[in-house]
Amino acid sequence: MENTGNFIELNKSEKIWAIGSIHSNLKAFNLVKKFILDKFSINDKLIFLGNIIGLGDSSKETLTSVLDLRFRLMSKFKLKPESIIFLRGAQEEMFSKLLQLQLAPNPTEIIDWMFEHGVNKTLNSYGFASDEVKSVSSAGTIKISRWTSNLNKTLHSYPGHTQYFLNLKHAAYSHTKKILFVNRGVDITRPLSAQNDCFWWGFQNFSTIQEPYKTFLRIVRGYESQHSNEIDISNNNVVCTLFKQPLSNKNVIFGIFGENGEIYDLFENN
């Protein structure tokens, strides 16, 4: 994987597969994985909409399975790297900050906040105890640096894991610029280049927009913080959300889209 910018344009896509937040739900993802391996075609594209890790108990294993899917599709169809895209979600953003905890002005507060949002589960999956991390966070810069060095070394011992965190995109869109893929939302008053962290932290009332954003007739996102019991499949809505609360459902939602914003199909595995 090679990082050439925060955004990626999808060219000549027959079908665009998009997978919503997985949150370490390995069992459900492996069902999705089997389906994609059976149905994927040579001119298709695949986008993971962020939050592959976090909250669940199998972050490390889930990421390994995701990277295995990437390898198998690229090998089978001789795909270019830009045919399979990973977007940054809130879980990836927080874990990336954790890898540089020694630079934080208030590491103890940051750890407490991140743990409240499920990052401790990702650390646990790599063999790091939550209590140990909390203790280190208040022990000074030198000890925190040693700890982050150990975390980075552990991450590097799993093939592709370090590269994954270094090559996450902010958003992806078709060459027609009719469909946009993000993790959580956009501020429709700003251009894509000025979104900052709106992509993974969201923007107020984003799900209720009724008009296209710029040229984008459809915005597909992988996370929604509000409770929702149904998958919205209306072709009249600008926003299509591949996620539903509550998290206890442990489901993974994915869909197939056209490069002009068409919704071909939506699926749910749990």
Number of domains, the chain: 2
Give the end of a domain, one of 150, 171, 192.
171
Which H helix or E strand runs over 91?
helix 90-98
Please tell me whether residues 218 and 97 are part of one structural domain.
no
- Tell me what pLDDT residue 37 has: 97
Please tell me whether residues 38 and 166 are part of one structural domain.
yes
- Tell me what pLDDT residue 127 has: 97
Is 49 within a domain?
yes
Please tell me whether residues 206 and 162 are part of one structural domain.
no
Is 4 within a domain?
no
Is 64 within a domain?
no
- pLDDT of residue 233 exceeding 70: no
Please tell me whether residues 151 and 224 are part of one structural domain.
no
Is 188 within a domain?
no
Please tell me whether residues 207 and 158 are part of one structural domain.
no
- Tell me what pLDDT residue 202 has: 86
DSSP of 109-153: HHHHHHHHTTHHHHHHHTT--HHHHHHHHTS-HHHHHHHHHHHHH
Please tell me whether residues 140 and 46 are part of one structural domain.
yes
In angstroms, the Cα distances linking 71 to 77, 78, 159 are 10, 10, 11
Question: Judging by DSSP bridges, how do beta strands 252-257 and 263-269 pair with one another?
Answer: antiparallel
- Tell me what pLDDT residue 140 has: 93
Beta strands in the chain (DSSP E): 7-10, 16-19, 45-48, 84-86, 171-174, 179-182, 218-221, 239-241, 252-257, 263-269
Is 10 within a domain?
no
Structure confidence at residue 7 as a pLDDT band (50, 70, 90): very high
CA-angle at 264, arms to 197 and 257, nearest 5°: 30
- Tell me what pLDDT residue 247 has: 79
Please tell me whether residues 160 and 43 are part of one structural domain.
yes
Please tell me whether residues 86 and 166 are part of one structural domain.
yes
Is 190 within a domain?
no
Please tell me whether residues 39 and 165 are part of one structural domain.
yes
Please tell me whether residues 162 and 211 are part of one structural domain.
no
Give the end of a domain, one of 121, 152, 171.
171
Mean pLDDT in the chain? 92
Is 106 within a domain?
yes
Give the end of a domain, one of 123, 148, 171.
171
Please tell me whether residues 100 and 217 are part of one structural domain.
no
Find the distance separating the first CA and the last CA of the chain, reported in whole Å: 30
Cα 155 to chain centroid, rounded: 18
Please tell me whether residues 144 and 215 are part of one structural domain.
no
- pLDDT of residue 171 exceeding 60: yes
Q: What is the pTM of this model?
A: 0.94
Structure confidence at residue 225 as a pLDDT band (50, 70, 90): confident
Q: pLDDT tens digit string along 38-73?
A: 999 999 999 999 999 999 999 999 999 999 999 999
- Tell me what pLDDT residue 235 has: 57
Overall average pLDDT of the 240-266 stretch: 92
CA distance 129 to 150: 13
- pLDDT of residue 8 exceeding 50: yes
Residue 232 phi/psi, 5-degree rounding, is: -80, 115
- pLDDT of residue 232 exceeding 90: no
Overall average pLDDT of the 229-250 stretch: 76
Is 261 within a domain?
yes
- Tell me what pLDDT residue 3 has: 45
Range of the domain at 51: 34-57+74-171
